Structure 1
Amino acid sequence: MLTQLVRPLLAVGLLVTALLFASPSVAVEPVVDTAPTYEDLIARLDALPSSLEAVARYDAAVARADQARALPNPSIAYDMENVYGTGPYNGIGNAETTLSINQPLELFGQRSARVQAARSDADAAGLRREQVRWQVAAQVALVYAEAEAAARRHELAAEALSLAEQDARGVAAMVEQGREATLRDIQAQSEVASARAAVDEASALRDAAFARLSAIALLDRPVQAIGASLLDRAPGTPQAGDADPLAVQVAQAELVTAGRLVTVERRRARPDVNASLGMRRYRDTDDEAFTVGIELTVPLFDRNRGGIRAAYAEERAAEARLIAQQQEARAGRFAAVAALAASGSRTRAADNGVAAAEEAYRLSRIGFEAGRISQLELRSTRAALIASRNAAVDARIARVRAEIDLARLEGRAPFGDSR
């Protein structure tokens, strides 16, 4: 009795399993690698190669500043006098030996000038590290937005192909009914072929953009889709702009460093002083005595005039870079704020244009199917719809670029808080 019940149940189970695997509605969907969110990529900035390089350069500058504080090493000397001569000085029996320690003395402010210059260079390296960080953030935002835009353009191209095929079917039906000439059918098929080529091109551009995003984000394999949208995100209100941009701060720090290097070169022309302290032993009397000495270089031939002139020239160059950077930052901020405001208006206008183009195409399609509108007018409204949707994507890319430019000047990540 139990066997009679088990066999039908087993057969039913096998049948259901076969139907599940055979049914296309329950087929396993391919796994799509979705890109990390923009916030996740920004959180990983410190792990990107450019950021690591900037951090390493800053660490090197800090290490040089620490090294600049080190005192010069002393030297030990051992001298023997009155040796290998004649008479009683034959050999080393009556030699006088001296053991001394020599210590260079960094007088005339030489050490302090060196330490201050190294410390200033480390400060400039710290600002450059922050500058590189936000430059990398800007690059990540741009590549992310371009990948999303490429994906949207591919979707728009696929939709344009679908609309062209739909219109071509309508034209073919009218040709069969004798309401349109055969030439219209040929033109519609040509438009379908052109739209299909546009889809292939958009697919290649999308894959390339995804590959760039995967490369800059150090992902294991290329992404295939964008999750959270960055194009639809509205940027925040620009900051007051009272603080100097990072680029100006870097130029100011470099000018300070150049000025301190002038001091280093000027004090390098001053005499070097060495002090010595030793113990001398007289072999013939077996007596001992201290020796004290001081050595002073005479800046007679080398006064480091070339080094001083070069340091002054570097200082003038740093001052010129600061002035240029201030002017560029002022103009760049004005342009970025204006571009951001204009891109917002452009985006709203593009969205309104898309809504109007969609309604126009809907009405023209109804009129075409009713025979009141020609194929040329239908094609025109369809082309306007495709152009308006692409214009909306372009407007959003322009808004992202304006936000990136402003964020770079303000020292922050695009669409994020200030540092």
Structure 2
Amino acid sequence: MRWFEMGRVVPATGMALCLSFMFQGAGAQSLSLDVAIAAALARHPQLRAVVLEREASAGATQQAGAWLNPELSTLVEDTRSATRTTTLQLTQPMELGGKRLARIQAAEAAQAQADLEVSAMRAQVTAQVMAAFHGLAMAQEKVRLSDELSRIATQAREMAAKRVQAGKVSPVEEVKAQVAQAQALSAASAAQGEWRAAMSLLRQAVGNPDVRFDRVEGIAGSLPSAQRWQPLTPLLEASPAMLRAQQEVMRRQALGALEKARRVPDVALTLGAKRDAQMGRSQAIAGVSLVLPLFDRNQGAILEATRREDKARVELEVIRADLQTQAEQALAQLEAALTQAQAMQRSVLPAARQAFAASTKGYELGKFGYLDVLDAQRTLFEAETHALNVAAQAHQADARLVALLGEPTPKKD
């Protein structure tokens, strides 16, 4: 990886030496993208919340498989001991129609939905960290560029002052140099403000107060790949949003099966003994009770479950169409940004650097005026800034694809 500097290319390892004073110091700590993502996935509040919900779903699944408890009852007739009748009975409700199995399947479908929610949130957190990390990396590089521009403007002002003292140029050139220096210092101050805002966004995206860093490892010169998002169709079908929508259909099917099972009435088996004190004997008791489904056959609940299943199927198609549109737009933005970034690196930046170097050398030799130097300097700075913005757009589009489709599985060679 190589970093672009005013007028030349420097290795990424020397990037920290080119940063402004706020990135320097023995206590500075750098943060890599992998560490940032790992820290966010370990302790991000939103992710921890959905993990807890998944654990709650596991408890619901466990509860769904529980058998109905028996009921123990006693009945005493008459308060006189000589004529008292005492009845002791045990009643066991029995679920019919496959209610218990349907209830378990519905709970398992809900738990699978919770698992997919965790996967989707992991993708969201990863995408947020990626976007914030690359945003900070670009802001960091803009600070370097603005700091370099301030240094060049200061040198140019000093050079103009010397030439004015020597009587080689008009004092107006020194005034122009002073204005250019003030503008460069103002741009540097603005860049530092953007850096502080980007730092705050990254800390928020990581969501882990234990992570300490002063800067991120320089990756502003790197670009994401569009090839890993192609072909797009299988990635769409395996995306967190599609898997959740498909699982929602299955969950609704399970709930519909549960409501249909509830049409079948349950029975209760009763066993017990009755002691008649007056007759001096005990009698066995056995009974069966059954609810007669004359008025409530659970038709309303079945209709509700059926329509909600139909709704889930329609929503699945809506999500598929919306996801495809958003993914195609993000991929198109990524490819367009990569095309611009490659053009900037191949032709625009080298030409701007060469023009600035030539104008600076010519000004020192008295062949060019200071306006020529200012124009070349401004052109180079704008080109460098545009290259950073294009790279940022590429990383933002790549992060958007991660949020939509999840992290793609690496392709085998």
Q: Which bracket does the TM-score occupy, shorter chain normalised?
A: 0.7 to 0.9
Report the alpha carbon displacement of residue 162 of structure 1 after superposing the two structures with TM: 1.2
Report the alpha carbon displacement of residue 234 of structure 1 after superposing the two structures with TM: 4.2
1:33–1:222 CA contact under 8 A, matched in 2? no
1:101 and 2:83 aligned:
no
In the alignment, residue 262 of structure 1 is paired with which amino acid?
G
1:3-31 per-position Cα deviation (integer Å, ceiling 9, x unaligned): xxxxxxxxxxxxxxxxxxxxxxxxxx832
Match 1:65 to one of 52, 61, 64: 61
Report the alpha carbon displacement of residue 92 of structure 1 after superposing the two structures with TM: 4.1
**Where does residue 379 of structure 2 map in the other structure?**
384
Report the alpha carbon displacement of residue 361 of structure 1 after superposing the two structures with TM: 0.7
Corresponding residue SS for 1:99: strand
**Where does residue 321 of structure 2 map in the other structure?**
327
1:274–1:294 CA contact under 8 A, matched in 2? yes
Task: Tell which deviates more after alignment, 42-51 or 150-159.
Answer: 42-51
**Cα distance in 2, alignment partners of residues 347 and 385 from structure 1:** 15
**Where does residue 162 of structure 2 map in the other structure?**
173
User: Per the alignment, do residues 150 and 281 of structure 1 end up closer, same or farther by CA in structure 2, a change over 3 Å counting?
Assistant: same
Between the two proteins, the alignment pairs up a number of residues equal to: 381
> Which protein has the larger Cα radius of gyration, Structure 1 or Structure 2?
1
**Where does residue 317 of structure 1 map in the other structure?**
311
**Where does residue 14 of structure 2 map in the other structure?**
none
1:226 and 2:221 aligned:
no
Match 2:136 to one of 144, 147, 153: 147
Corresponding residue SS for 2:345: helix
**Cα distance in 2, alignment partners of residues 188 and 383 from structure 1:** 13
1:350–1:395 CA contact under 8 A, matched in 2? no
**Cα distance in 1, alignment partners of residues 27 and 356 from structure 2:** 33
Gaps of 5+ in 1: 1-28, 85-90
Match 1:56 to one of 52, 55, 60: 52
Corresponding residue SS for 1:284: coil
**Where does residue 402 of structure 2 map in the other structure?**
407
1:373 and 2:360 aligned:
no
Identity of aligned residues (%): 26
C-alpha RMSD over aligned residues: 2.5
User: Per the alignment, do residues 221 and 125 of structure 1 end up closer, same or farther by CA in structure 2, a change over 3 Å counting?
Assistant: closer
2:226–2:335 CA contact under 8 A, matched in 1? no
Report the alpha carbon displacement of residue 269 of structure 1 after superposing the two structures with TM: 4.1
**Cα distance in 1, alignment partners of residues 378 and 263 from structure 2:** 76
**Cα distance in 1, alignment partners of residues 154 and 52 from structure 2:** 57
User: Per the alignment, do residues 304 and 180 of structure 1 end up closer, same or farther by CA in structure 2, a change over 3 Å counting?
Assistant: farther
**Where does residue 340 of structure 1 map in the other structure?**
334
**Where does residue 271 of structure 1 map in the other structure?**
265
Match 1:38 to one of 20, 33, 40: 33
User: Per the alignment, do residues 356 and 370 of structure 1 end up closer, same or farther by CA in structure 2, a change over 3 Å counting?
Assistant: same
Match 2:249 to one of 240, 250, 255: 255
2:126–2:402 CA contact under 8 A, matched in 1? no
**Where does residue 126 of structure 1 map in the other structure?**
115
**Where does residue 11 of structure 1 map in the other structure?**
none
2:146–2:191 CA contact under 8 A, matched in 1? yes
**Where does residue 11 of structure 2 map in the other structure?**
none
In the alignment, residue 72 of structure 2 is paired with which amino acid?
I
Gaps of 5+ in 2: 1-23
In the alignment, residue 167 of structure 1 is paired with which amino acid?
A
In the alignment, residue 364 of structure 2 is paired with which amino acid?
E
User: Per the alignment, do residues 75 and 389 of structure 1 end up closer, same or farther by CA in structure 2, a change over 3 Å counting?
Assistant: same
Task: Tell which deviates more after alignment, 34-43 or 93-102.
Answer: 34-43
**Cα distance in 1, alignment partners of residues 99 and 210 from structure 2:** 53
User: Per the alignment, do residues 181 and 222 of structure 1 end up closer, same or farther by CA in structure 2, a change over 3 Å counting?
Assistant: farther
Corresponding residue SS for 1:321: helix
**Cα distance in 2, alignment partners of residues 345 and 119 from structure 1:** 47
1:43-64 per-position Cα deviation (integer Å, ceiling 9, x unaligned): 3423332332222211211221
1:281 and 2:275 aligned:
yes
Where relative contact order (Cα < 8 A, 6+ residues apart) is larger, the structure is: 2
1:189 and 2:184 aligned:
no
In the alignment, residue 400 of structure 1 is paired with which amino acid?
H
1:373-395 per-position Cα deviation (integer Å, ceiling 9, x unaligned): 33333222111111111112112
- What does residue range 193-212 of structure 1 map to in structure 2 within 5 Å? 193-212=182-201
Corresponding residue SS for 1:278: strand
**Cα distance in 1, alignment partners of residues 231 and 210 from structure 2:** 41
2:32–2:217 CA contact under 8 A, matched in 1? yes
**Cα distance in 2, alignment partners of residues 50 and 291 from structure 1:** 57
User: Per the alignment, do residues 30 and 409 of structure 1 end up closer, same or farther by CA in structure 2, a change over 3 Å counting?
Assistant: closer
Report the alpha carbon displacement of residue 42 of structure 1 after superposing the two structures with TM: 3.0
**Cα distance in 2, alignment partners of residues 259 and 202 from structure 1:** 55
Report the alpha carbon displacement of residue 409 of structure 1 after superposing the two structures with TM: 4.1
**Cα distance in 1, alignment partners of residues 125 and 44 from structure 2:** 8
1:291 and 2:281 aligned:
no
1:337-371 per-position Cα deviation (integer Å, ceiling 9, x unaligned): 33333232222112232221111111112223333
User: Per the alignment, do residues 308 and 184 of structure 1 end up closer, same or farther by CA in structure 2, a change over 3 Å counting?
Assistant: farther
**Where does residue 4 of structure 1 map in the other structure?**
none
**Cα distance in 2, alignment partners of residues 382 and 92 from structure 1:** 113
**Cα distance in 2, alignment partners of residues 32 and 205 from structure 1:** 22
**Cα distance in 2, alignment partners of residues 268 and 331 from structure 1:** 41
1:42-88 per-position Cα deviation (integer Å, ceiling 9, x unaligned): 3342333233222221121122112101111111111123x15xxxx
User: Per the alignment, do residues 32 and 214 of structure 1 end up closer, same or farther by CA in structure 2, a change over 3 Å counting?
Assistant: farther
1:117–1:264 CA contact under 8 A, matched in 2? yes
**Cα distance in 2, alignment partners of residues 198 and 95 from structure 1:** 100
2:31–2:215 CA contact under 8 A, matched in 1? no
In the alignment, residue 108 of structure 2 is paired with which amino acid?
R
